[in-house]
Chains A and B, each alone.
Chain A
Amino acid sequence: MSPICAILRESFDDYLGDALPAPQRKMLREHLAACAECLGAAAAKDASFLFARPMPEELAPDETARILVGVRTGVGHIETERRIEAATRRRFAGVAAAAAVALLVLTIPGGSNARREPGTAALPAPVPSSGTSEQAAISSGLAPAGLPAEAAAPSSSATVYDLNPGAARGEPRVVWIVDRGLDI
């Protein structure tokens, strides 16, 4: 037994107890891989010493290539999945944006009515042109500016929409007169 063998054998307990610094640990492992006598002594102390050595897997080049091909295929799948997910996300975002706009238009008070042409179903029923609302609208100065009083008076072809959606909240009343007889 060489002096180095004797020194290293004294460090078996420290090795097992995880108390050996990395350089000595490495030295011991390398020595055990090369010295059958010390490996036998170490195995007699603790059988797990038999496995205290690197057992590298030597892969043939074609096996490595086969794994690489598998990885390449897998990466292709991952990228395809990512593209599909991104397209789905974009489509979803478009639908969500459209829904948000629609919701916004519907929730603004009178918003949807303001954009509709008169006569569509969502508008309130027209008030007869000879009614008091019509007179009130004229007297409160709703007639188009710059027109003579006769012109301001709604003709028989006029329709008055008396909208009052925010009356409960104290919002101003809106009167909308559509007179197809006016030539402005």
Chain B
Amino acid sequence: MELVYSERLERKGLAELPDRELAIQARGGDMLSFETLVSRKTPAMVSLARRIVGNVEDARDVAQMVFLRVWKEIHRYDEQYSLNTWLYRIATNLAIDFLRSARSRERAHGATLHLVREREESTAAGATRSAEDRELARLFEAVSGRLSEKQKAAFVLRELEDCDTKDIAQILGCGESTVRNHLFNARRILRKEMARLYPEFLRGRTRV
């Protein structure tokens, strides 16, 4: 009883610490700090992974892998650099790897899996999100299938996560001009796909 109580008190104190401090303590082997960081960053990691891999079940798996990778590599964390950029980098790379393997699996098993997942998603994750966000998220998942992994990651980081070009270049491990190129191509493909798949949606929007 005593231990649980003190742990709760400690957790309460940790919850007020900034990310950087938690990461430094976790680097020293403090599991409680690491767990506090995990709890704090889980929604952002799941959200980013979901936009890239396309469904919440896989996104949860990716988020778990992200934190395990962070624990393995925490000794390399340098507090001079942004923790978020480091986390986004790990998450984006793992999500891209996951998407690549998932795409090859889907090519082998057909599109059935995707349909089943879509149905699961609508019942599992949708309950708490606003209707418009849900609709836009569904729309994005539908039209972003033609983007390459890197284009998709660049677009998600730019538009949905609001990262700047320099950060995206760091996260993806490429130059800023490459990022701009990815973004340009992603927009072009999304425009085409929206016009092809949802012309009525665009007409409806433009009438507003």
Q: Give A residues with C-beta under 8 Å from B.
A: 16, 18, 22, 25-26, 29, 36-37, 39-41, 43-44, 46-48, 50-60, 63-64, 66-68, 70-72, 74-75, 78
Given A55-B47, A57-B50, A78-B72, A44 and B202 contact (CB-CB distance below 8 Å) = yes
- A selection of 9 A-B contacts at a CB cut-off of 8 Å is A16-B187, A37-B208, A47-B191, A47-B194, A51-B160, A52-B159, A56-B43, A66-B60, A75-B71
Known A43-B202, A59-B42; further 5 A-B contacts with Cβ < 8 A: A25-B162, A44-B205, A54-B161, A67-B42, A74-B67
Q: Give B residues with C-beta under 8 Å from A.
A: 31, 34-35, 38-39, 42-44, 46-47, 50-51, 56, 59-60, 63-64, 67-68, 71-72, 125, 128-129, 133, 136-137, 139-140, 155, 159-162, 164-165, 180, 183, 186-187, 190-191, 194-195, 202, 205-208
Q: How many A-B Cβ pairs are below 8 Å?
A: 115
* The 9 A-B residue pairs with the shortest CB-CB distance in the complex, in nearest-first order: A57-B47, A47-B194, A40-B208, A44-B206, A58-B128, A74-B68, A48-B187, A71-B67, A40-B205
Q: How far is the CA of A147 from the CA of B164 in the complex (A)?
A: 95
Q: Across the interface, which residues of B come within 8 angstroms of A48, CB to CB?
A: 155, 159, 186-187, 190-191
Q: How far is the CA of A68 from the CA of B31 in the complex (A)?
A: 12
Given A44-B202, A57-B125, A51 and B136 contact (CB-CB distance below 8 Å) = yes
Within the complex, what minimum Cβ distance (angstroms) separates B112 from chain A? Answer: 25
Within the complex, what minimum Cβ distance (angstroms) separates B100 from chain A? Answer: 22
Given A55-B160, A58-B128, A78-B71, A18 and B63 contact (CB-CB distance below 8 Å) = no
Within the complex, what minimum Cβ distance (angstroms) separates B90 from chain A? Answer: 13
Q: Across the interface, which residues of A come within 8 angstroms of B195, CB to CB?
A: 47
Q: Across the interface, which residues of B come within 8 angstroms of A70, CB to CB?
A: 64
Q: How far is the CA of A66 from the CA of B57 in the complex (A)?
A: 12
Q: How far is the CA of A63 from the CA of B57 in the complex (A)?
A: 11
Contact of A18 among B43, B51, B165, B194 (CB under 8 A): B165
Contact of A50 among B128, B139, B165, B208 (CB under 8 A): B139
Given A18-B165, A48-B159, A57 and B208 contact (CB-CB distance below 8 Å) = no
Q: How far is the CA of A60 from the CA of B183 in the complex (A)?
A: 32
Assess whether A18 is in contact with B180, with CB atoms less than 8 Å apart: yes
